[in-house]
Every structure is written in C-alpha cells, then in structure tokens.
Structure 1
Amino acid sequence: MSLLTVKDLKLQFGGLLAVNDLSFTVEKNSISSIIGPNGAGKTSVFNMMTGFYRPTGGEIQLDGISLINKKPSQITKLGMARTFQNLRLFPNLSVLDNVKSGMHCRTKQAVWGALFRTKSQQEEERLIEKVALDCIEFVGITKYIKRSAKNLPYGAQRYLEIARALATKPKLLLLDEPAAGLNFEEKQYLIQLIRRIRDEFNITVLMIEHDMALIKEISEHITVIDYGWKIAEGTPEEVLKNEKVIEAYLGKEEVV
C-alpha cells in the first residue's frame, strides 16, 4: 500500500524546467531511494514534497492527503520529516535542545501554560524531554547530550539531524544525502540505523544518495531522474543495469 504518491509533478524556474511530469509511489514500511546525476532535480523534489518549493503542476499526497499549498510546518505535522544535504542544526544549542525542538509540531500548550507553569505544561515538558532522550539514545549519541551541535564530530552531527527528525514522530522520513562526508565505518552504522528506523519504528524511509554501494545494499526500490525526468525505476538490480541509467551517470560513448 502506498504511503506517498507523486503524480505528474512539475517545477519551473522561469525558462528552466527543473522537474517534469515526475510520477512515483513509495510503499509503506519500505526503504526507497531517488538517485540521479548532480543537477538532476532530486533535492527540488524533496523541497516540493516538504513545502519549501511550490510545484508548478502535479500532485503530492501523503497517506491520501494532498500536500499542495501546505506550509512546511503543516506537512511536518501530517507526518513527513526530513534531513538536509547541508546540515541545518542550531549550532549553539545542545544536542538535547536541538532534538527537543523537533517536538514543537506536537506540542499543545499555549503561551499561558508556559507563563504560569501549569500542570499540563510541566507534563508536556517532561514528555518532550523523554522523547528527545529516547531519540538521542536510538541514534547513538547520548555521550554528546550536553555538547553544542557545532562542537560535535561531523558524523554525530548527521545522526543528530536524524534524531531531531525522529522527534517529530514521522510516518515518512526523507534523508537528503545522509552518507555525505561519512567514513566507511560511519556509513555502515548509518545503514544499520536506517534499517532500525524502519523495522523498530515502522517509519517509511525515502533517500537521496550518491553512494551507489550504500544504495544497492539498503534500497528496496529506486527511482532514477535525469534533467528532471524519470528515466527508470525498479529494484537496485534492475535499475543499476539499465542502459539509460548507465548513460546518465557515465555518458554516452561517441562512435568515431
């Protein structure tokens, strides 16, 4: 059963057609990927899905609900969370406070509760801290809990962003190049972490990634785009031997 449905999606910047007639689905409890050469339009797709860009045309539905014209905060509340290719942490906040910020979309108490420290406000604060602590432990960075984000090792910053996304309690987690900058050991840990996110939390995962070895090992379904067009989709084995995919990555040999 599909959790995400993208149909005839388009994005145009002036005369540039960044994404054109893109359609694909993501099945519930799957680990799927979008791949393509640099500039293919992958991050633009994520930006439209999460409300940062407004599509020129087409439809995006999460669990049957249209995401078109919704704000990023509304989309997060509906159950879609993301990480970014370029980390977007609060550098001067602690690990704990960064993750607690992810719970903002799930809070209910108004300003009066915060001012007067009502019982409901205090209970909610305890819940926020518990969820944050659980997410930090889950991704394996508890030892850094009091350290500011800017002072973390790079790999830990990547895991911190995942922890913050998990704190929003998503149905669908979008990971934009989560392995970028990681060494071999960190990538192996990331693979296991993504599998645990799906298996233990029943969260569907959709990735953008350039590391083909990682993609082949973890993805169950791949959508390939080039210059904004879908050129292939299927299992890793089907996609990585597709001639159009090979040509998009390696170029077409000229016959002399």
Structure 2
Amino acid sequence: MSILTVKNLKLQFGGLLAVDDLSFTVEKNSISSIIGPNGAGKTSVFNMITGFYRPTGGEIILDGDSLINKKPSKITSLGMARTFQNLRLFPNLSVLDNVKSGMHCRTKQTVWGALFRTKNQKTEEQLIEEVARECIDFVGIRKYTNRAAKNLPYGEQRYLEIARALATKPKIILLDEPAAGLNFEEKQYLINLIRRIRDEFNITVLMIEHDMALIKQISEHITVIDYGCKIAEGTPHEVLQDEKVIEAYLGKEDAV
C-alpha cells in the first residue's frame, strides 16, 4: 500500500520546465530514493511535496490527503517531515531546544496557558521535553544535549536535524542528501540510523542522495529523474543497470 502518490507533477519557472509530468509512488514502511544528475530537479520535487513550491500542475497525495496548495506547517501536521541539503538548524539554540521546536506542530496549548502556567501547559511542556530527549538519544547525540547547535561537529548536526524531524511524529520522513559531507564511518552510522527509523518507528523514508554506494546498500526502490522527467524506476540492481540511467550519469559516447 502506498503512503505517498505523486501524479503528473509539473513545475515551471517562466520558460523553464523544471519538473515535467512526473509520477511515482512510495510504499508504506519502505526506504526509497530519488536519484539523478545535478540539476535534474530532485530538490524541486521535495520542495513541491513539502509545500515550499507550488506545483504548476499535477497531484500529491499523502495517505489519502491532497497536499496541493497546503502550507508546509499543515503538511507537517499531516505527518510529513523533512531535512534539508543545507542544514537549517537554530545555531544559537541548544540541541534540546532545536529538537523541542519540532514538536510545535503537535502542541495544543494557547498563549493563555503559557501566561498563566496552567496544569495542562506544564504537562504538555513536560511531554515535549520527554519526546525531544528520546529523539536525541535515538540518533545518538545525548552528550551534546545542552550544547549550542553551531558548536556540534558537522556529522552530529546532520543527526540533530533528523532528531528534530522525528520529533514531529511523522508518517514519512524526506531526507535531502543526508550523507553530504559525512566521512565513511559517519555514513555507515547513518545507514544504520535510517534502517532503525523505519524498523523501530515504522516511518517511511524517502531520500535524495548522490552517494551510489549508500543508495545500493539501503534503498529498496529507486526513482531516477533527469531534466525533470522520470527515466527509470525499480530496485537498485534494475536501475543501475539501465542504459538510460548510465547515459544520464556518464553521458553518451559519440559515434566516430
């Protein structure tokens, strides 16, 4: 059963057609990836799915709910979380406060509760902190809990962004190049972490990634796009043997 359906998606900037008639599905509790050369339109697809770009045409359905014309905050409340290729943390806030900020979409108390420190407000604040600490522990950065985000090593900043996304209690998490800038050991830890997210939390994972070794090791299904169009999809073995995919990445040899 699919949790995410993208149908005939199109994005046009003036005369530039960035994404053209793109369709794919993501199965529940799967680990799937979107790959393609630089400039293929991968991040534009993520931005449309998460509400940062408004599609020119097409449909995006998350677990039965249309996401078209919905704001990012609403899409998050429906069960979708994401990370970004370029980290978007609050650099001067602690690790704990960064992750607590991810719970904003799940809070119910009003400004009056905060002003008068009601019982319900205190209970909710306690729950937010408990969930945040659980997410921090899960990604393995507990020792940095009270440290400012900007003072974490780069790899741990990547894990922090994942922890904040998990705090939103998502059904599906979109990871935009999560391995960018990581060394070999950090990538192996990331692979294990992504599997645990799926296996222990039953969260579907959709990634954009350029590291083909990582993609082959972890992805169950791959969609390949080039110039905004889907050129192949299937298992890692099927996709990476596809002539269109090889041509997109390596170019076509000119006839002599």
Q: TM-score, normalised by structure 1?
A: 1.00
Q: CA deviation at 1:148?
A: 0.3
Partner of 1:209: 209
Deviation for aligned residue 1:232: 0.1
Q: 1:101-126: CA deviations, max 9, x gaps? A: 00000000000000000000000000
Aligned to 1:136: 136
- Give 1:19's aligned amino acid: V
Instruction: State the 1:70 CA deviation.
Output: 0.1
**Amino acid of the structure 2 residue aligned with 1:36:** G
Matched to 1:30, the amino acid is S
Q: Does 1:254 align with 2:254?
A: yes
Structure 2: distance between partners of 1:153 and 1:122: 33
2:154 is aligned to: 154
Structure 1 residue 75 corresponds to structure 2 residue 75: yes
CA distance in 2 between counterparts of 1:193 and 1:118 reads 38
Mapping for residues 211-230 of structure 1, pairs under 5 Å: 211-230=211-230
How far apart, CA to CA, are the structure 2 residues paired with 1:217 and 1:249?
19
Separation (CA, whole Å) in 2 of partners of 1:250 and 1:169:
40
Task: Give the aligned partner of residue 96 of structure 1.
Answer: 96
What does residue 37 of structure 2 align with? 37
**Displacement, 1:247?**
0.2
- How far apart, in 2, do the equivalents of 1:126 and 1:138 lie? 18
Q: In 2, distance between residues paired with 1:62 and 1:177?
A: 22
Summarize deviations over 1:68-115 as a string: whole Å, max 9, x none.
000000000000000000000000000000000000000000000000
Kindly report which structure 2 residues correspond to 1:6-45, keeping only aligned pairs within 5 A, or say none.
6-45=6-45
Output the CA distance in 2 between the equivalents of 1:58 and 1:172: 20
**Secondary structure at 1:200's aligned position in 2?**
helix
Deviation at 1:255? 1.1
CA distance in 2, matches of 1:96, 1:216: 33
Whole-angstrom CA distance in 2 between matches of 1:149 and 1:39: 30
1:180 match: secondary structure: coil
In structure 2, the residue matched to 1:125 is: 125
Report Cα offsets for 1:33-74 as digits up to 9, x if no partner.
000000000000000000000000000000010000000000
Query: How many pairs does the alignment contain?
Result: 256
State the alpha-carbon separation in 2 of the partners of residues 245 and 92 from structure 1: 42
Provide the secondary structure at the position in 1 that maps to 2:168: coil
Give unmatched runs, 5+ long, in structure 1. none
- In 1, distance between residues paired with 2:42 and 2:137? 31
| TM-score calculated relative to the size of structure 2 | 1.00
Aligned to 1:180: 180
Counterparts of 1:42 and 1:32 in 2: how far apart (Å)? 13
The CA distance in 1 between the partners of 2:146 and 2:173, in whole Å, is 25
Q: Distance in 2 between matches of 1:89 and 1:251?
A: 37
SS at match of 1:98: helix
Task: Give distance in 1, aligned partners of 2:244 and 2:199.
Answer: 33
SS in 1 for 2:207: strand
Distance 2:63 2:145 in 1: 34
Structure 1 residues 140-191: Cα deviation after superposition (integer angstroms, max 9, x where no partner): 0000001100000000000000000000000000000000000000000000
SS in structure 2 at match of 1:182: coil
SS in 1 for 2:162: helix
Report percent identity of matched pairs: 88
- For the residue of structure 2 that corresponds to 1:90, the secondary structure is coil
Amino acid at match of 1:85: Q
Distance in 2 between the 1:166 and 1:81 partners? 7
